Structure 1
């Protein structure tokens, strides 16, 4: 390559560098290609993988407990941890309105706050460090989402570390990064990288400790009732132990009598078509599992302080269906004892 060619290439490079990248059509074209690729990927996933459907919405289901999708778990965990802060934790609108507004405002004002003209990642330490801390925080909060925020036994390692890992460490790290990035004319990039790295490592280490030390749920015993008749019989036995007192042998009770604390309480007869036709099996299971506190019904699910396992609750619902729902035909059930012979 001769000098004249080098000079032409250098001149062209300088012209392009001076002009910069045009929003139209350069940036728009690349964004459109990426968006099209993601759109095609979503179509393929929806077509060949799909999403499991849930039961239709049941307006009469008062026992439904809404649960967030996994990609919102970090927000719900943040709210749960925020609620443990003394004094401020009682002011929910600070966490639900003020904090998100500040976060969105910072993102909106970021181009005006950070006037760094460089695009090379080595020159963009502040936004990259802040975003790294934010992403690690979101991941760790998501991983901690199923760990109880408080323990009935009192403070534990898991309950103590959760607010430190989910609130204190990322909050201090982001604050320190902004101070170093904006207060100095020449920001200490190496120190900022160290702050982000140390904060991320601390959060990951504490989250691992939380997950290891968190109490594991008790494994439910396996109920042996393999056939439908066995399940119906098991459900009848369980119903007679846990439900008869309030609902009666046949589920016709409309006013509870003889039960301390619930005397005179009006209830719907659970053998009626209004209940059996409108409540799905899932709804009935949820009512038994979680209870209905407004009606005085305690939770019966083991995970919520009751005595019944998931399979036992299934048996009760099966018994109710085949005993009282006229859309189900009761299968032949063998008697517990053989019939007596004549003269015995």
Structure 2
């Protein structure tokens, strides 16, 4: 997806998801670049729901201020009538209210610069309060972790999983790495990595687990699920997706309730998971731990079993990244259970860098708040 540039009322705007009328109808912008034609995307991209929520807030804000021009367009993909009724010209961007439909129903992903603009846009509080829905009590602040910063976490994951390199001469194990993300003025300032990796997980004696103190003082914590030794390497053991474990989830709940933790990131072969409270806020997560334990273990086993039935245990790395990691249906089934406990796992599948043929985790936007 690329942005185009237009002149409107003598001002230059970057357009977002403004399409040509048909595949054959070629239109160029002021820089002689073609306008694109939309294509349905079967894959859901990370931050989709959060982005739509924030976009709707800004659209409603502009509606209240009468900062739009009337329009009338049908969907170019599914032919639904009148998905677009307004065009917005705001700051340096131009988009239409029909963009919500293209994202919601066709998984169209906006440009990175527009995502940054929407996530970082701060509206006047007194005006904002008049247009917020009952569901959205306040304008959420978002922080961004860039692709290059995520490559550091990726390197830790790969380091812990290529071969069994930790332990005594007699016993070698893979290793998870863990750490803390330190933000300053809403930007990631430090990645603090734990140095103590001596504990063995009671549920998996193949992997060393990290120990860290003062985790609950930070907004985001992270740990890796290493490939053992390749993507999907434990499929024969019934584990195709490295979903967060029930231990990871209970660990997040403890640190959220006792401190400032907003989310717990899990970096793994298929991408990035973020364990968080479903309804964002500082309130404690109050659950029946036994009920959560039983239901989560059951659904995560079922999800992996169904995934293995679908994809098998013998596959190339390319198939793993191109098909398996892009399939969000299994994490959605898990979230259907977690949501009942006021919990949610955001999933960010990897993307392919067409230049170097590598699969990476793209920039992510995480909700942020002031400490308790």
| TM class, shorter-length | under 0.3
Structure with a larger share of its residues in helix: 1
Structure with a larger share of its residues in strand: 2
| TM-score of the pair, normalised by structure 1 | 0.22
| TM-score of the pair, normalised by structure 2 | 0.21
